[in-house]
Amino acid sequence: MAFGARATATLALLVLAFDVLTGVSAAALANVVNSCTRPNVAALTFNDGPFIDALKLLDAHGVKGTFFVDGNDLVHRKGNKCIYKGDRVTALQTAFNQGHQIASHSWSHTNLTDLDPDQVREEMVKAHDAIQDITGASTAYIRPPFYQYDDQVREVAAAVNHTIVLRDFDSRHLADVTVQGQMDHYHQVISQNPKPSNILVLQHDLKKSPVHQVVKYAIQQLQGAGYELVTLAECLGERPYHRVGEPRHTTLNSTACKKGSL
């Protein structure tokens, strides 16, 4: 049965009135960021780091990046798994103190859409708390593993005050694209006419990878094309953290990671 415009509007008002009277309303959904909003900027963002070598490279070029860090990825990490392990603590504190932005990549790098709401919340809260333990910063952003999210994930993200971040450019490092292939991909995007107003770059920071050679090329090409290289928050014109205080713990938190994962 079809409704006219007036009937449809009346029905919507009745539904709204019912929600107000009963206290029932649609759950808030977290914002999803796919690109920067400021013109003439490019944000280099990295998953799975940071590692000291990458920090040295960025520092040598005077560039600030954004690192999406996991807490205890038992599948993809080799060796240094737990975020509370000494060398990961050192790298994370170094990145933060150098002015790089730190954001969440969940706790265990699992597909959040496969989990129930309580499990999604645990993934987000544990990663957030670990970052705050080590840096003192309450991060405002999360990049869901595999870029998978649904309304349930967005509801939980909104509840814990996280914005979901994706990307509009992927270097294709994890697609087994060669170093030259990744460089060619950067060149193709930058050399478009007209060139993109801004670029939100995804690059993985995996140890013993060709990331450094590719990132060095990317920095040179992006700056040569006139882009200002900034953090994620800067490219959005927003704050990187809800608040920043003193680190809560800098030593190994043996209860946060699974037994035998350190």
pLDDT 10s digits, 124-136: 999 999 999 999 9
pLDDT of 197 > 70? The answer is yes
pLDDT 10s digits, 78-107: 655 889 988 889 999 999 999 999 999 999
Burial (CB count within 10 angstroms: exposed 0-12, middle 13-18, buried 19+), residue 163: buried
Ordered domains of the chain (ranges, CATH): 25-244 (3.20.20.370)
pTM: predicted TM-score of the whole model, two decimal places: 0.86
Cα distance between residue 111 and residue 128, in whole Å: 17
Cα distance between residue 256 and residue 107, in whole Å: 10
pLDDT 10s digits, 11-20: 444 444 444 4
pLDDT of 222 > 80? The answer is yes
Q: Report the chain's mean pLDDT, rounded to a whole number.
A: 86
So what's the pLDDT on residue 183?
A: 92
pLDDT of 46 > 60? The answer is yes
So what's the pLDDT on residue 79?
A: 58
Name the least confident of 30-39, 67-76, 140-149.
Answer: 67-76
